[in-house]
Amino acid sequence: MEKQPTVLKAPSILYLNQSDIIRLGGCSSHLYMEAVRHALILHARGEVVQPLKPYLRWREQGHIADRIIAMPAYLGGGRPMAGIKWIGSKHDNPARFGLSRASALTLLNDPETHYPIAILEGSLISGMRTAAVTALAARHLAKKAFRRVACLGCGPIAQMQLKTLLEQFSGIEEIHLFDLVPEAAWRLVAALRPESSRVKYQVDPSAEAAVRAGEVVITCTVADQPYLHYDWLQKGAFISNVSIMDLHKEVFVRADKVVVDDWDQSNREKKIINQLVLEGRFSRERLHAELGGILAGQKPGRESDDEIILLNPMGIAIEDIACAQEIYQRALAERVGARLSLYGSELEPLRGEEKQKAGEQVSLKTEVQ
């Protein structure tokens, strides 16, 4: 007899808001470090499916940070999971509406049935997984005993980047900050200082001054034009180009090593790498590695203290899905979150074709009024 598939009688979705995620450890870098490492190693092994993410824009003259992005992915390995992040960004949300620049939802789907199983608030996960990428890369690409970090842009993304680095690297002694709005830099100092009283903070008068001081440099701006020059970087600097558009082309061309999270995502239309490829000044062959390849031991990381190494992390969906999966599993174990019925309290899945074959009459118990 043919085995009948198991059918869920009342499919439901676990909803986790940001408070739930924080309760499950979502404000700590430790959760994200291992989840992102796992995802990037699967990427290096070819055990993921990750289509190029589409950008939804409808303002012809809009800011580069004004968009909504769909980011689907499947992770294989021993714990398969599928899902998508839907993330919106509007550069003037803080000034105009008193809202964060970015907002997001992450949806998880069961890899067997393809049914949705969870919805998670995604902006906290997105920011923290991005910070984990920088920290994972710093372990392999920064100088071993770096002490000084520079951060350009002092909003929520910068806070998560620096919080993660401070948690993961106890040797940090100085943090240099620059923001076009100096008050934002001082607010960031106030937010970080209670957790890191050992660290000296300095708000610098220019981006150049901050960069020249940093052994590790992080860009966390909404810049739409390059401004950071190669000559600002000290020997042995590691730069994590989180906000993508800050660096002049010369930095990519002259850096000793350029590393990306995913070549296809990085070589997208209008991005700096793609511009250089079209100009014949850069190529996949000139790329040192994808980060997962370094984490998996396929390629070396830093090989001398004098190397200037650039990480250009586009941010990829497998990172979000891996982190959301870890949080989802914790939520199940700790019974956190709210259950949402997929069809409503009185409805079961409508399997019309199967019921008709069995000679049954299909009917809905309720109708839209």
Q: Which of 9, 53, 85, 365 is catalytic?
A: 85
Tokens 């590691």 sit at which residue? 238
Strand order in the sheet with 200-203: 200-203, 174-178, 148-152, 216-219, 238-240, 309-312, 257-260, 289-290
Distance from C-alpha of 153 to C-alpha of 65, rounded to nearest angstrom: 14
Q: How far is CA 198 from CA 174, 176, 203, 217, in A?
A: 9, 14, 16, 20
Q: How far is CA 207 from CA 178, 192, 322, in A?
A: 6, 20, 34
| Exposed / middle / buried, residue 225 (Cβ in 10 Å: 0-12, 13-18, 19+) | exposed
Residue 257 among the catalytic residues: no
Beta bridge partners of 148: 174
Pairing between β-strand 174-178 and β-strand 238-240 as defined by DSSP bridges: unpaired
Amino acid making up residue 165? L
Distance from C-alpha of 70 to C-alpha of 295, rounded to nearest angstrom: 26
**What are the catalytic residues?**
85
